[in-house]
Structure 1
């Protein structure tokens, strides 16, 4: 799928994460989408998004994030799921950027800790379960979208789990995850992000301090998979035991989303 990444004007990292091969067929394109938030979606973006036939939308952001950047899309007729848990007065990534010893290495450490904690946060579990429940619902139709603020960390974890449940191999799971770095064009936007963050923080951090907040590294997702495996034997078992994606649900998902 050469056109996997959709170049929208005000929405970062919007892409189709179907089209990957599995032992039982290829994931149907045009049914599973992932992205960042929709606060800056333009009218042209909204018209394009409306054309996709989305019927189910999961917003993984915390309530304080939604308050700061409310979505301009989707329309009310789309089923929209969010959660009121996890509110932060000072976002953890902002706290990590404050102080006198902020370096690229300290932010890498923050990202490692985040990925090791994220699979077991109660509000994440509730939303991850809701994602799979919605996809597997009897009679479900239309496309589905899952997103967070940047569409890379929380979204990256749940999309990787979706691929695993559907049978995508490890190489393609990692490929879709790392595609964020191309989709958000980090090198182009990093100077702008540095300026914006530094002004907000009253800081003068170098650009590479902010790189982990814009992109991803394989090791981040590997950390999430490691803690799932430590607790449950494998990421697939995590989906089964924590998110309720048993074999029967997995078969329903494959029936709906795979084409042979």
Structure 2
């Protein structure tokens, strides 16, 4: 039996960017498979897709989206699955990841807002806010505290496209578990392979309205610079990943130890 590669997509059409965080090597073994999943939103989950999703055995879903995002695309969560709202950007104001979709229907407004490198700067600033916003700190604390509990897993976490708020949650968890920095980045960048093809209608619609599709690449995809910005903010504030989880998020040693012991399989 062939063992899936780390980060390999789980092919459920109505759950874009769905991936198991397991399989990435750590100093003591590998991240446990089948325990923590990441994805984009899944408001259209039904039929065979719902059956396939149910087969993953997910016990709890953590929705990192804003109130407006949830209202626009309400989750379809299988019966018996705990659904928890963890609004990472509740304290955010301005044009961050959750707000940029509003300009995609207006190429002129998009050019003014996103052109000349402004999109990259917007996202770098937003990633730094994952380390500074009170709502982000509270939200990630609640999520990681829950995921440390065996009864809450298998667990899935997601935002709208599963790339920014979800991307930082995945990257920071993998870092805590001892995954090599290059592998953390590889997992993060897989979004460009797994998500962008599903967004072709968005690119095509923007082009049809007179926009340059290249303008959307830094908005709808991910870049190393974004994760680097979050890492830089983390080390500036908390020195390292242990400081982030203990001092930044306020998790006690027992919770951090439980995350590591339950989510790493010995080799």
Identify the TM-score tier after normalising by the shorter chain: 0.7 to 0.9
Instruction: Note if 1:18 corresponds to 2:18.
Output: no
1:235 aligned to 2:244? no
The CA deviation string for residues 76-122 of structure 1, in whole angstroms up to 9 with x for no partner, is x2222114634879853146663662426221221122112222222
Q: Note the residue ranges of structure 1 that are not aligned, 5 or more in a row.
A: none
Does residue 166 of structure 1 match 2:177?
A: yes
Note if contact 1:9-1:42 (Cα within 8 Å) is conserved in structure 2.
Answer: no
What are the superposed Cα offsets for residues 147-178 of structure 1, whole Å, 9 maximum, x if unpaired? 00000100010111111111111111111111
| Map of 1:117 onto structure 2 | 129
Distance 1:86 1:197, change over 3 A: farther
After superposition, give the CA deviation of every residue in 1:23-81 in whole Å (9 maximum; x if it has no partner): 22211111110000011224222111111111121100001100000011243x22221
Which has the larger displacement, 2-11 or 147-156? 2-11
Distance in 1, matches of 2:156 and 2:9, equals 14
Bigger mean CA deviation after superposition, 116-125 or 214-223: 116-125
Whether the 8 Å contact between 1:12 and 1:150 is mirrored in structure 2 is: yes
Q: Which stretches of structure 1, 4 residues or longer, exceed 6 Å deviation after superposition? A: 87-90
The 3 A distance-change label for structure 1 pair 189 and 249 is closer
- Structure 1 154/39 Cα, relative in aligned 2: closer, same or farther at 3 Å? same
Whole-Å separation in 1 of the counterparts to 2:140 and 2:20: 18
TM-score by length of 2: 0.85
Structure 1 Cα separation of the partners of residues 78 and 212 of structure 2: 36
8 Å CA contact 1:63–1:83 kept in 2: the answer is no
Give the distance between the partners of 2:142 and 2:251, measured in 1 at CA: 11
1:134-149 equivalences in 2 (<5 Å):
134-137=146-149, 139-140=150-151, 142-149=153-160
Q: Deviations over 1:176-220 (max 9, x none)?
A: 111111112x2x455521344578xxx632101111222111111
Give unmatched runs, 5+ long, in structure 2: none
1:44 corresponds in structure 2 to: 48
Q: Does 1:105 align with 2:117?
A: yes
Cα RMSD (Å): 2.5
SS in 2 for 1:33: strand
Pairing 1:92–2:99 present: yes
